Amino acid sequence: MSKAQEAARVLASEGYSTVIVGEADHPEVAGIKAYAGEDALVISDASELPARIPSRRVGVVVQTTQVEEVLNDVVCSLLPRTNELRVYNTICSATSLRQQAARELAAQVDVVVVVGGHNSGNTTRLAEICREVNPRTHHVETADEVRAEWFDCARVAGVTAGASTPDEQMQGVIQKIEGMDIG
């Protein structure tokens, strides 16, 4: 049982209405929900919270690849609407560090390429974070997806990857970029 699943089980057993912050169709979230009970609410951000919270005792569990800002927004939205709020921050610390490094990279380069599966929540979130800082961010799964026009008028390109992206996949993208005439 994962840390998030255990937290959901504890909340459900202690009578809390459980809010799961994550992607509803993600396998990890489905696993958490199985322990939280059928009445658990799955949201991707604070804007999806219902106008009426089903209980004044609310517990929050978060998908391990979510960003801290989303969790903070949900907690801030729930605080004035509950009598008791119990939060389990189950975001993976390595994920948080990777997200912060990607944010810093995006601020230092002209173009960002994020490498990893298009269906990977972790990689998609990295791309979203980079895009917030640098609109010239592109999410690719393979080197074949890299386009030369992305690098028009660019002097520096940055490459990052999702946690489960194989090194050879990332190296393939880097080699393709290095083979282009950037600038």
Q: Catalytic site residues? A: 28
Cα-trace Rg, the chain: 19
Sheet with 157-161: list strands edge to edge: 137-140, 111-115, 157-161
Q: Are 60 and 19 in contact (CB under 8 A)?
A: yes
Q: Please, what sign has the CA dihedral across residues 7, 56, 93, 103?
A: positive
Residue 105 vs residues 66, 81, 131, 149, 173: alpha-carbon distances, Å: 19, 37, 11, 20, 17
Contacts (Cβ under 8 Å, ≥6 apart) of 21? 43, 44, 45, 60, 61, 62, 63, 66, 70, 71, 74
